[in-house]
Amino acid sequence: MSDRLKEKAANLFAARFGSAPQGVSFAPGRVNLIGEHVDYNDGLVLPMPVREGTAAAWSKGDVDRFEVVAADFGQEDRFPLAPEKPGTIDWRSYVRGMIVSCGLARSGLRMVITGDLSRGSGLSSSASLCIAVGRALADAVGADPGPADLAKAAQRTEHEWAGVACGIMDQMAVAAGQAGHAMLLDCRDLSFEQREVPQDWAVAVTESGVSRGLVDGEYNTRRRQCEAAAAALGIGSLRDASVHQVEASALDGVTRQRALHVVAEIARTRAAAAALAARDLAAFGEILRAGHASLRDLFEVSVPAVDTVVDELQQAIGPMGGARMTGGGFGGAVVAVFEAGRMADLERASGRTFLRVH
Ligand code: GLA
């Protein structure tokens, strides 16, 4: 998948600029298996990379400026080595933002970007774009930043250039993800372990059809509510809270609900990582079901159309696996984990199309 996309980017580059690119970088998207809305609470998450992603073909230009083509939009952006924010938030914000955040621009670059992740699906197309651009910038100057540095630059871009106060999960999952593995990431210190997903498990994603909006949505509000909960409990982050502490606190109804989700979701992530290691698909599925209910009822980031897809899939899958919304919420994708070999049968039963992750 990534090879085909890189080849496409190289061909588009040659067609636009008249010569082959000096390099082509790639970064995947990600799907989160469990650990939702806990990354900005210093929590634990379990994402894995998808096969689709973003490719950026590049060559050093002969002028001190950037010429960047977003092939999928038929748009082009030209700007100096130290770019300013564009008037609206769009793909140019991410590209320019990465160039500033990485601090790796030494000379002008020509770049052609193309991707095969659908935007607004909750599979981190923006983190994928940022990391692909970051890798191209690094390759162009012979630098080798580690995944955490690239991820932090991408997170700064999201915060400062796109106005989304996101956590670090997406960027780390994209920068350090390993195919066929889920990554147990500790968002407090960015340490991680790659956990192999068993060959007899299938991981698939289906789109709810409701496009999600992080900025328009209530993502930033949820983050503020979690910070308020931690402050009221007298701790630095909800990572350090226990269910008992939240229940015994004087937090108001909504803030308490948010905190209860976070504390229980971090515990679910640990339990899911253990179920993965034990190859216990039934236990893993039960954790997915509990995670969805909590996002729907306590954290209130699901929407009825997504709940319907999740319910239908959970029924079709039965006890050996499960399904839940994935990503920030308010629409987007649903992730399902089930026995390998059931993909066609589940597609038929649900009338839905799956994107195979594993
Ligand atoms: C979005 C954000 C992430 C994370 C998830 C929810 O994807 O970018 O940082 O908070 O939502 O788990």
pLDDT digits (tens, 9 = 90+) for 115-144: 999 776 789 999 999 999 999 999 999 999
Contact between 157 and 113 under an 8 Å Cβ cutoff? The reply is no
For residue 111, which of 76, 154, 62, 69 has the smallest C-alpha distance? 69
Per-residue pLDDT tens digits for 212-235: 655 456 888 999 999 999 999 999
166 C-alpha to center of ligand 1: Å?
A: 6
170 assigned to active site: yes
Q: Check residue 28 and give its pLDDT.
A: 98
Residue 57 Cβ inside 6 Å of ligand 1? The answer reads no
Q: How far apart are CA 258 and CA 307, in angstroms?
A: 19
349 C-alpha to center of ligand 1: Å?
A: 30
* Residue nearest atom 5 of ligand 1, based on CA coordinates: 328
pLDDT at 354 over 60: yes
Query: What crossing angle do the helices spanning 147-162 and 91-102 adopt, rounded to 10°?
Result: 130
Q: Give the active site residue among 42, 170, 186, 311.
A: 170
Q: How far apart are CA 196 and CA 201, in angstroms?
A: 11
> In testing the pocket of ligand 1, which one of 38, 130, 169 has its CB within 8 Å of the most ligand atoms?
169
Report the percentage of the chain scoring pLDDT > 90: 89
Residues in a beta bridge with 32: 47
Mean pLDDT of 289-312: 96
Per-residue pLDDT tens digits for 148-162: 999 999 999 999 999
Contact between 17 and 108 under an 8 Å Cβ cutoff? The reply is no
Residue 29 Cβ inside 6 Å of ligand 1? The answer reads no
Q: Which atom number of ligand 1 is nearest to the Cα of residue 214?
A: 1
What domains are defined for the chain?
2-192 (3.30.230.10), 198-356 (3.30.70.890)
Q: How far apart are CA 22 and CA 8, in angstroms?
A: 14
Question: How many CB atoms within 10 Å of residue 26?
Answer: 20
Q: How confident is the model at residue 343 (pLDDT cuts 50, 70, 90)?
A: very high
For residue 42, which of 237, 299, 271, 253 has the smallest C-alpha distance? 237
Residue type, 258: R
Strand 109-115 and strand 65-70: the pairing is: parallel
Q: Check residue 215 and give its pLDDT.
A: 46
Q: Check residue 210 and give its pLDDT.
A: 83
Grouping H, G, I as helix, E, B as strand and the rest as coil, residue 121 is: coil
Q: How far apart are CA 91 and CA 112, in angstroms?
A: 12
Q: Check residue 216 and give its pLDDT.
A: 53
Which run of H or of E encompasses 271?
helix 253-277
Q: How far apart are CA 132 and CA 181, in angstroms?
A: 20
Q: How far apart are CA 239 and CA 245, in angstroms?
A: 12
121 C-alpha to center of ligand 1: Å?
A: 13
Q: Which atom number of ligand 1 is nearest to the Cα of residue 164?
A: 8
Output the six-digit token pair for 165: 């106060």
Q: How far apart are CA 148 and CA 154, in angstroms?
A: 10
Q: Check residue 155 and give its pLDDT.
A: 98
Contact between 207 and 118 under an 8 Å Cβ cutoff? The reply is yes
Q: Which atom number of ligand 1 is nearest to the Cα of residue 32?
A: 12
Considering only residues 120 and 238, tell me which one the structure prediction assigns the higher pLDDT.
238
Instruction: Report the chain's C-alpha Rg in angstroms.
Output: 20
In 296-316, which positions are buried (b, 16+ CB within 10 angstroms) versus exposed (e)?
bebbbbbbeebbebbebbbeb
Q: How confident is the model at residue 166 (pLDDT cuts 50, 70, 90)?
A: very high
Sequence-ordered strand ranges (E) for 116-217: 181-186, 192-196, 201-207
Per-residue pLDDT tens digits for 70-96: 999 999 999 999 999 999 999 999 999
- Half-sphere exposure of 22 toward its Cβ, with a 13 Å CA cutoff? 14
Tracing tokens 């950037």 back to the chain, one arrives at 66
Residue 327 Cβ inside 6 Å of ligand 1? The answer reads yes
